[in-house]
Amino acid sequence: MLFPATNGRRFTSRHYKIYYWIEYSVSKDKIFCFPCRHFSANIIASGKTAGNLCFVNYGSKCKIWKEQTLSLNNHQRCKTHVICVQRWNDYLLVKKNHSLSIANQVNNVRQQNIIENREHLKFLLKAALFLSKQGLAFRGHNESDISKNIGNFLEILDMFANDKIKLRLQARYGNYTSPEYQNDFISSIAQCTRQIILNSMNKFGVYTIMVDETKDLSKKEQMSFLIRFVDKELNICERSVGCYGSNPYYFLKYCTFFFTSVLWTL
């Protein structure tokens, strides 16, 4: 291809092989620098150096084309150009391998964070499950820093949690280990346990409900709820499904919930 001639000399495509970064504009008959045009943001104000201005803003066009090589070589050595080429290469690398992109790395960190949070929560749930199963108290009389025994739940975490979980625990102390969270764990475990009991019932629809009332240590009336049924292997089972305060309102609420669950399951 023949490019426009000036003073009998013209641009040659051989330049593309030597200077891979150049762009040639046929309409303007000028040479521009691709990386400097696209990747020079925040380096220096455009046009501060003669070389930069020449290849970015108005293009390079030597009146005598044989001096073009000198101009290209000078630009190639200029510091701004070197930085722009490095940015261009980085861009190409990220485009080729998406795992190197910032968005992807941020997303990976988030995913890792979610995994670690779940591990943390799993440990707390296991501790709550152990105490619930063994019928042990969660809380201690004194859970302050000076206490020698901060209660079963916190003591288990202190004794068995690894350093990573402990570090997270310290960062969120009072959140995932506060009494409110402990009650949430107990409530979730109770809900799952009740569901497992209901699922194990035989579909005959025959069961007995036993209710009894007694006072607990704090002299509060508690209504215990037991269910007797035949499971899917035809074994006779008797399971406790809850112990509720005998406040008539809550009792009615729990009874409604329970019967709805049983009837819905069967």
Q: How far is the CB of 37 from Zn ion (least distance, A)?
A: 8
Q: Which residues bind Zn ion (CB under 5 A)?
A: 33, 36, 81
Q: How far is the CB of 90 from Zn ion (least distance, A)?
A: 15
Q: How far is the CB of 25 from Zn ion (least distance, A)?
A: 15
CA 51 from chain center: how many Å?
A: 46
Radius of gyration, CA atoms only, the chain: 38
Q: Cβ closer to Zn ion: 82 or 121?
A: 82
Question: 10 Å Cβ neighbour count for 159?
Answer: 8
Question: 10 Å Cβ neighbour count for 3?
Answer: 14
Inter-residue contact 223 to 212 (CB < 8 Å): yes
Q: Cβ closer to Zn ion: 36 or 262?
A: 36
Strand partners, 211: 225
Q: How far is the CB of 71 from Zn ion (least distance, A)?
A: 11
Taken in order 16, 19, 22, 26, is the CA torsion positive or negative?
negative
Inter-residue contact 207 to 227 (CB < 8 Å): yes
Sheet containing 207-215: order of strands: 207-215, 221-230, 236-245
Q: How far is the CB of 58 from Zn ion (least distance, A)?
A: 14
Q: Cβ closer to Zn ion: 55 or 254?
A: 55
Q: How far is the CB of 18 from Zn ion (least distance, A)?
A: 14
Residues 6+ away with beta carbon under 8 Å from 46: 40, 52, 53, 56, 57
Q: How far is the CB of 15 from Zn ion (least distance, A)?
A: 14
Q: Cβ closer to Zn ion: 33 or 124?
A: 33
Inter-residue contact 217 to 245 (CB < 8 Å): no
Q: Cβ closer to Zn ion: 9 or 37?
A: 37
Q: Cβ closer to Zn ion: 78 or 226?
A: 78
Q: Where are the alpha helices (DSSP H) in 97-209?
A: 102-134, 152-160, 163-171, 179-200
User: 137, exposed or middle or buried, with CB in 10 Å at 0-12, 13-18, 19+?
Assistant: exposed
Q: Cβ closer to Zn ion: 69 or 147?
A: 69
